[in-house]
Copies of this chain bind each other. A is one copy, B any other.
Amino acid sequence: MDEFGLIAALAKRLPKPGEDVLLGIGDDAAVFRTSTAPFVVTTDTMVEGVHFLPTTITDYNLGYKALAVSVSDVAAMGGRPRFAVVSLAIPAAWDKARLEQVYDGLRENTERFGCDVIGGDVVSTSGPLVITTTVIGEAENPIPRSGAKPGDILFVTGNLGGSSAGLQVMQEVTPASGIAQARLVERHQRPEPRVGIGTLCAKFGVHALNDVSDGLASELHEISAASGVRCVIEADQVPLMPEVKELARGLHRDALDYALYGGEDFELVGAASTRAFASLLATASAMQVPVTRIGRCDAGDGVVMRRPNGHLEVLEPKGYNHFKRVDTRSGRA
């Protein structure tokens, strides 16, 4: 299997690109045209043994997730994904059939989000599989994480904690029911980037937006630090996946920990004026996407959480840090 043969085989797994792709896979570089909106570009790298293991994700879902992670970053800018390039560093143990599965998963994602894969690179490595996705998107009004203001409402989309709980049920024996385990695993392996809500956030002038890749506590710290505000959230307002609550109950753990420190939920967390939030809530409800107020921004700094008994906890900026934990928690995605 040589480089050119492999590229041709993998490219065949992808759908025909749209008409804005003037030249796709196969030349020195791909060529595309776009509208005149500003562009966003983001890149993410996943390493076998650090971000995933063959025991925690199927090859198909690895392809799906690798692209979803970058699409989620575009959504977190209020943008619409358009084009992607994918690079693979491939160990000898990964054969062509497995790589084709990865590309079939990529394909599902490209079709769902209208994001054409227009180029890439494949090389060998003596180490683990490394997959790098770069996604280019358009954004009329990009939303940074630095725009939050005192008085803003803090909100999240969907519900949280499912991804890290899903990883746990694959790696340990837990008391969760079979159906709960299946739903949690699905959440871990197949995150749903919130592209539609992200573009609504841009339309309504949401002030700051992040995707929840490293846990809610870490994302709020990023917004707090970049915007110069204090984030105050209500513990009983943080929306959790019901299956996370079931798992946490059986394990006698605090279900909130999965949301605050688990990461990889790829929901959106943002700060918006009362008015913008009301517009977002109304439109998202019509789209049947949950958007929940979880707190507010104050003057000050740091991140605190109020428990139902009124007790204020300072939340540390810990979250899942792939870089730091590789030696101690290899395989934790």
Tell me whether B32 and A321 are in contact (CB under 8 A). Answer: no
A323 within 8 A of B: yes
A14–B250 Cα distance when bound, in Å, is: 50
Tell me whether A330 and B126 are in contact (CB under 8 A). Answer: yes
| Segment of A46-54, A276-284, A305-313 engaged in the interface with chain B | A46-54
Tell me whether B50 and A39 are in contact (CB under 8 A). Answer: no
Tell me whether B124 and A127 are in contact (CB under 8 A). Answer: no
Smallest CB separation, A145 vs chain B (Å): 5
Find chain B residues with CB under 8 A from A36 CB.
36
Tell me whether B128 and A126 are in contact (CB under 8 A). Answer: yes
We find that the number of chain A residues with CB closer than 8 angstroms to chain B is: 78
Residue of B nearest to A76 (CB): B28
Find chain B residues with CB under 8 A from A76 CB.
28-29
Find chain B residues with CB under 8 A from A146 CB.
27
Q: Which of B27, B92, B127 is in CB contact (< 8 Å) with A127?
A: B127
Find chain B residues with CB under 8 A from A34 CB.
39
A33 within 8 A of B: yes
Tell me whether A132 and B45 are in contact (CB under 8 A). Answer: yes
Find chain B residues with CB under 8 A from A38 CB.
22, 31-33
Tell me whether B73 and A29 are in contact (CB under 8 A). Answer: yes
Tell me whether B40 and A77 are in contact (CB under 8 A). Answer: no
Most chain B CB atoms below 10 A, which of A31, A42, A324? A31
Tell me whether B324 and A3 are in contact (CB under 8 A). Answer: yes
A122 within 8 A of B: yes
A95 within 8 A of B: no
A31–B138 Cα distance when bound, in Å, is: 9
Tell me whether A85 and B29 are in contact (CB under 8 A). Answer: no
Tell me whether B3 and A321 are in contact (CB under 8 A). Answer: yes
Most chain B CB atoms below 10 A, which of A29, A31, A83, A135? A29
Find chain B residues with CB under 8 A from A134 CB.
41, 43, 85, 87, 134
Given A1-B323, A30-B41, A41-B119, 12 new contacts (CB under 8 A): A3-B321, A3-B324, A27-B77, A29-B135, A43-B120, A43-B134, A45-B130, A45-B132, A47-B123, A50-B123, A85-B134, A124-B322
28 residue pairs A–B, Cβ–Cβ below 8 Å: A1-B323, A2-B323, A3-B324, A27-B226, A29-B73, A29-B77, A30-B42, A31-B139, A32-B41, A33-B38, A33-B39, A34-B39, A43-B85, A43-B86, A43-B119, A43-B120, A43-B121, A43-B132, A44-B87, A45-B130, A49-B125, A50-B125, A87-B132, A89-B89, A90-B323, A92-B327, A124-B322, A127-B127
